Chains A and B, each alone.
Chain A
Amino acid sequence: MAKARKDSACKITNQASSGRASRRQFIVRTGGLLAAGAFGAVPLRGWAADPVNIGALYPTTGSMAQIGVGCVAAAKLAVDMVNEAGGIKSLGGAKLNLIISDVQSDTTVTRTETDRLITGNKLSAIHGCYASALTLIASEVAERAKVPLITGSSSDQLNKGRTYTFTPFARASQFARAQLQMSKLVSDKPKVAVIFENTAFGTSTSNGLKELAPSEGVEIVMFEPYSAGFTDASPLINKVKSSGANTLFSVSYLNDLILIVRTVKQFGLNISINGGSGGFVIPDFYKNVGKLAEGLQGVAHWNHDVSEDAQKVNAEFKKRTGDFLFEYAGGLVAQTFMLADALERAASPDPQKVRAALSTLDVSSGYAAMAPGGKVKFGPDGKNIYGHPVGVQWQHGDLASIFPKEDARAPMMKI
């Protein structure tokens, strides 16, 4: 009976204490802001420009709460940055006023909340909602109300039949291609096992992989849906093992992915894992699997090392929350600056004028250009014509961009 041991210390992963401490800091700070709003909103020069209202729709309760709370923290940080830099100058230094609404990780609530937000406030623009399923609904409502919506959600559906929706980052179809190309970094002849949870998210993502694989010269040796929220990953990994794959693509949410990664290790399986995006590229993933995450690859529409500006924002976010600025949250900081740029040029808080200004946005420097490739310009379908995903790898507890070459900020770590 051979036994292999690596660590002897009992290591514990905990998100509670750091989360709670940062939340307290957060409340102290935002509380201060609120108090300033209540008592101290005294115009300095006898008059002040009316603030520009920006709606933020994120799931801060329910199953996606963890990520939604991070998004709201980033949205507040972005607005603070714009306001500290003097607000919207063409509007007399008008401050951005963030109006946050909780969509509760629920499609029905998203519809009513978006409606309520738009009818109850004079909004210039909206951003949200993290999950594509929610954003699709919010964008429909915004379209009808003629309020521009900017989002990092990746569903290609968002670029169809909409004129008020803007997507500055990579689309779902591009993610699949990038993932397949990355498998060739590891092996000349990638034999890929695709396992995916049997939900809308899992099925659509994995079908994209299956369709593109032949044209990328990647062989798929196993293509298997599983029921999300299983008790044990061993049977699934046993199956992956017998398929003879040398690369594993797992389209999963956080908990399943944690079990999968741990079980691959227990089985001593020598296979490179690409965890895709979503739950894989957030700090919580590393906190839960620790060193086992080292060397694992994924894809993201944003990473904190894309530019120097992004690094700066990352440092500030880390100071506020204790965690690095994750994909979706980082993207939405850039989005806020895109909105500020459009407002500046529109010189009006009118949502239709803001939409017109967004459609002619063309940036290649500054915080608004924090994106893989460093350029943002929207096509007629609201898609950033330069948008593409970046391949990332967990290295020493941090996410490093390693693919494609022009976006790579660190060499690929061999495992």
Chain B
Amino acid sequence: MFETVAQAVINGLLIGGIYALVSIGVTLIFGVVKIVNFAQGEFVMIGMYISFFLAHQYGIDPLLSLFVTMPVLFVAGVLIQHFLIRRVLGPNDMPQIFLTFALSLLLLNLALMLFTANYRTVHTSYSDEAFHVGGLYIPEAKLIAFGVAMLLSGLLWLFLHTTDLGKAMRAASQNRDVAMLMGINPNRVFCVALGIALALAGAAGSLLMPFYSAYPFVGQVFVLMAFVAVVLGTLGNVMGALVASLMMGIAESLGIQFVGADSGQIVVFGMLLLTLAFKPTGLGGGRAR
């Protein structure tokens, strides 16, 4: 029994790390730029395809392709902020919602057209292997993904708390008007926020590639969980999103083990509704950190 529970918790924690990378991106954009990025999942998909093609064409290990996907998507984020999102920032939310939603549909259908609906996998030496620790199994690829996800989250936290630009981003997320009065250039801050958020999505794509198939709809699978984590961990709160993602991974896994294999999401969404009923601002306590 103990073994079963421990295994379920490990499984949940490991997939939670991936949810975290996606949800931190969403919450960062929401916190700083105040828009909901519906296309975040599609950037994970793009990250996966970049990793796939690098592995396929040049034999580059998907983990090493992090050094390509992250910069490429960072630049994409900056460009999207500069040429698209900046134009629709204003008092009205609707154009922003439709902008990111349209972006999501565009990217998804472009991928369908260019890459077809086929599943593509990269098989590495560690894809199917696992560490065995006293009766428990820890898949290598997922452990690596989890480790890198936590490392990137830690680096982001350091960036937000120790650098001027990071502090400016936190300031902009706490109160945009006051931050602007203090001389913070909003467009520059927004560009960096978008860049970082998309780079994290790209990282998630590269980390997923050794153990998950790439296909045009893959982003949709992860983005739903990411949105739940963002709300659960308080909108705009990076640490909250991280903790909520890990919790959701564990809740989903325990739900599958003890409630029913089709009930993982029931547990997750039940948790979301309960949290909202008793703590409407989310577990992060309503503060953007």
Binding partners A and B:
yes
- How far in angstroms is the closest Cβ of chain B from A270? 13
| From B132, B140, B252, contact of A2 by CB (8 A) | B132
Which residue of chain B lies nearest to A15 when distances are taken between CB atoms in the complex?
A: B118
Q: Known contacts being A10-B61, A231-B225, A266-B139, is A238 close to B119, with CB within 8 Å?
A: no
Which residue of chain A lies nearest to B59 when distances are taken between CB atoms in the complex?
A: A10
- How far in angstroms is the closest Cβ of chain A from B32? 27
The segment out of B11-19, B83-91, B169-177, B273-281 that lies at the interface is: B11-19
The segment out of A42-50, A149-157, A178-186, A220-228 that lies at the interface is: A220-228
Whether the pair B118, A66 counts as a contact (CB closer than 8 A) is yes
Whether the pair A14, B128 counts as a contact (CB closer than 8 A) is no
Interface presence of B122 (CB below 8 A): yes
A235-270 CB contact bits vs B (8 Å, 1 = yes)? 110110010000000000011001100110111100
User: CA of A242 to CA of B4 in the docked complex: distance in angstroms?
Assistant: 7
User: CA of A89 to CA of B118 in the docked complex: distance in angstroms?
Assistant: 41
Residues of A within 8 A of B7 (CB): 234, 238
Whether the pair B56, A255 counts as a contact (CB closer than 8 A) is no
- Which B105-158 residues sit within 8 Å CB-CB of chain A? 115-133, 137, 139-140
Whether the pair B121, A235 counts as a contact (CB closer than 8 A) is no
- Which B217-234 residues sit within 8 Å CB-CB of chain A? 221-222, 225
Interface presence of A229 (CB below 8 A): yes
User: CA of A7 to CA of B140 in the docked complex: distance in angstroms?
Assistant: 14
Interface presence of A284 (CB below 8 A): yes
User: CA of A289 to CA of B211 in the docked complex: distance in angstroms?
Assistant: 11
Q: Known contacts being A3-B129, A227-B264, A235-B253, is A258 close to B12, with CB within 8 Å?
A: no
Whether the pair A288, B8 counts as a contact (CB closer than 8 A) is no
Q: Known contacts being A284-B119, A288-B121, is A198 close to B262, with CB within 8 Å?
A: yes
Interface presence of B215 (CB below 8 A): yes
- How far in angstroms is the closest Cβ of chain B from A18? 11
| From B117, B120, B124, contact of A10 by CB (8 A) | B124
Residues of B within 8 A of A288 (CB): 119, 121, 213
Whether the pair A267, B130 counts as a contact (CB closer than 8 A) is yes
Identify whether the interface residues of B are mostly helix, strand, loop, or mixed.
mixed
Interface presence of B55 (CB below 8 A): yes
Whether the pair B117, A63 counts as a contact (CB closer than 8 A) is yes
- How far in angstroms is the closest Cβ of chain A from B122? 6
Which residue of chain B lies nearest to A222 when distances are taken between CB atoms in the complex?
A: B261
User: CA of A12 to CA of B121 in the docked complex: distance in angstroms?
Assistant: 7
Residues of A within 8 A of B262 (CB): 198, 224-227
User: CA of A6 to CA of B257 in the docked complex: distance in angstroms?
Assistant: 30
User: CA of A292 to CA of B56 in the docked complex: distance in angstroms?
Assistant: 20
Whether the pair A19, B116 counts as a contact (CB closer than 8 A) is yes
B30-69 CB contact bits vs A (8 Å, 1 = yes)? 0000000000000000000000000110010100000000
Residues of B within 8 A of A415 (CB): none
User: CA of A268 to CA of B126 in the docked complex: distance in angstroms?
Assistant: 14
Which residue of chain B lies nearest to A17 when distances are taken between CB atoms in the complex?
A: B56
Whether the pair B129, A4 counts as a contact (CB closer than 8 A) is yes
Whether the pair B122, A12 counts as a contact (CB closer than 8 A) is yes
Residues of A within 8 A of B15 (CB): 231-232, 234
Could you list which residues of chain A lie within 8 angstroms of chain B, going by C-beta atoms? Answer: 1-17, 19, 62-63, 65-66, 195, 198, 224-227, 229-232, 234-236, 238-239, 242, 254-255, 258-259, 262-263, 265-268, 284, 288-290, 292
